[in-house]
Amino acid sequence: MKAATRSFTTGAILPQLVSFAVPTFLAMMLQTLYGTVDVLVIGNFGSTAGVSAVSTGSQILSLATFLISGFTTASTVLIGQYLGAGDDKNVSRVIGGSIPVFGVISAFFAVLMVLIHPMLLTALNIPTEAMAQARIYTLICSCGIPLIVGYNAVCAILRGMGDSKSPLVFVSIACVVNIIGDLLLTGWLGMGAAGVAVATVTAQGVSFAISLLYLLRKGIGVPFHKSDIRFEAKLTRKLFQLGVPMAVQSIMINLSFLFITSIINAMGVTASAAMGVGDKITCFAFLPQSAFSQGVQVFAAQNMGAGKPERALKGMWLSACVTTVWGLVFFGICNLWPAMLPGLFSTDAQVIAMTGQYVSAYSFDTVLTCLIFCMNGLLAGCGCAGFSMTANLLASFGVRIPATWLLSRMADVTLFHIGLAAPAASAVQIVITLLYFRTGRWKKNTISAAVPD
């Protein structure tokens, strides 16, 4: 029995996007819950230093995770474009050619992170009392990078085929494993950050195993043979042509936030813990935008492959309108009741107060990113990752980091002031991207067309 493929090239647009985005949202929410449960457990059974260690360590691991996701997204886009064009042969080629590429990437980054994580932690000015726990947490999680790659690769294939429900099932089971592991290893056995890391890696392994078994049993929806699994020079170039800009964009944006973390870590362990908690809260705030962005990405890829760019553009605007409703709700919660969400993560009154300041300012960004995430999804689906990367880097390194540094130099600065740097950068990015859309170049860059038989 083969997995079903799903076409987004005909029919009502909004119901298709919603039906894809809702399972994606739930899956991403559960994935985010991994890190959130980590902070909740160590915050209640450990110490403020432990919260700082896990928060900073998880940001470092995100460097590898986001970079890897750039390449898995490239395969999703190519699969979607060929599926929209009705080209099953090249769908199989993309899937088969991606497997060895992902294998090499996973091995490389696992080794790299094991070797350089002490230097990264030192560069981030992590407080001395949190350093030992941060190192063990980051080391253990770095060893689990191949599991992250494997899981993301399988889910990339399924999403490219229009299936967002199966990844939700996989991550739901893994989330339960992670919660049980955290409570057992950190809550009961008192292993601190090491227990959190072991639980996280175990959960990732479960996700990968279940997703791989599913794919092997159900198939991919198009004819596929073992002989399809091989390096193909032309296809690999196209994966890198699309994946490298996405990966660079992801890692550089993450690096920009690590620079910001370094600035705030220098303000002391309480500020470090407050930002760590704030980042967990804002991760949840960005989930609807991220889910619809992935939906727009697959929707745009299929419609660009089918030669329907205007349908792809309409899907982007509809998704932006839907997510803006959520952005305004989160903005209201953070500014009317600033201590409510931080109070779920910490019992330290000072940490709660500082986190409230940070998320109140950052909540402006949740409204602006409703448009940004959907625009980036369209650009990725169209094969315009190079421009998307440029716009994101200009916003991050031209606005967000300089603004954070300048604000941190102010007398009596608070995390509210520092949080304002993010919406300032987003506003600049929106202007740049809208100007690009007016040129019409995004309609002419369908990457799958450049991969010959």
Q: Where are the domains of the chain?
A: 13-447
Report d(CA 74, CA 361) in Å as an integer.
33
Is the pLDDT reported for residue 125 higher than 80? no
Q: What is the pTM of this model?
A: 0.77
Winning range, highest mean pLDDT, from 31-35, 140-144, 258-262? 140-144
pLDDT in tens, 330-380: 889 888 888 787 777 767 777 788 788 788 888 888 899 899 999 988 998
- Residue 398's φ and ψ, nearest 5 degrees, are -90, -20
Q: What is the DSSP string of 31-97?
A: HHHHHHHHHHHHHHHS-HHHHHHHHHHHHHHHHHHHHHHHHHHHHHHHHHHHHHTT-HHHHHHHHHH
pLDDT in tens, 64-77: 777 777 778 888 88
Is the pLDDT reported for residue 436 higher than 80? yes
pLDDT in tens, 304-322: 888 888 999 999 999 999 9
Report d(CA 223, CA 219) in Å as an integer.
9
Percent of the chain with pLDDT over 70: 89
Residue type, 210: I
- H or E element at residue 364: helix 349-381
Q: Are 29 and 335 in contact (CB under 8 A)?
A: no
Report d(CA 189, CA 66) in Å as an integer.
31
Under the banding of pLDDT at 50, 70 and 90, the label for residue 223 is: low
Cβ partners under 8 Å of residue 194, min gap 6:
133, 136, 137, 140, 185
Report d(CA 77, CA 388) in Å as an integer.
15
- Cβ-in-10-Å burial (0-12, 13-18, 19+) of 49 comes to buried
CA quadruple 263, 266, 269, 275: dihedral, nearest 10? -10
Winning range, highest mean pLDDT, from 35-44, 219-228, 236-245? 236-245
Provide the residue count of the chain: 453
Q: Are 387 and 400 in contact (CB under 8 A)?
A: no
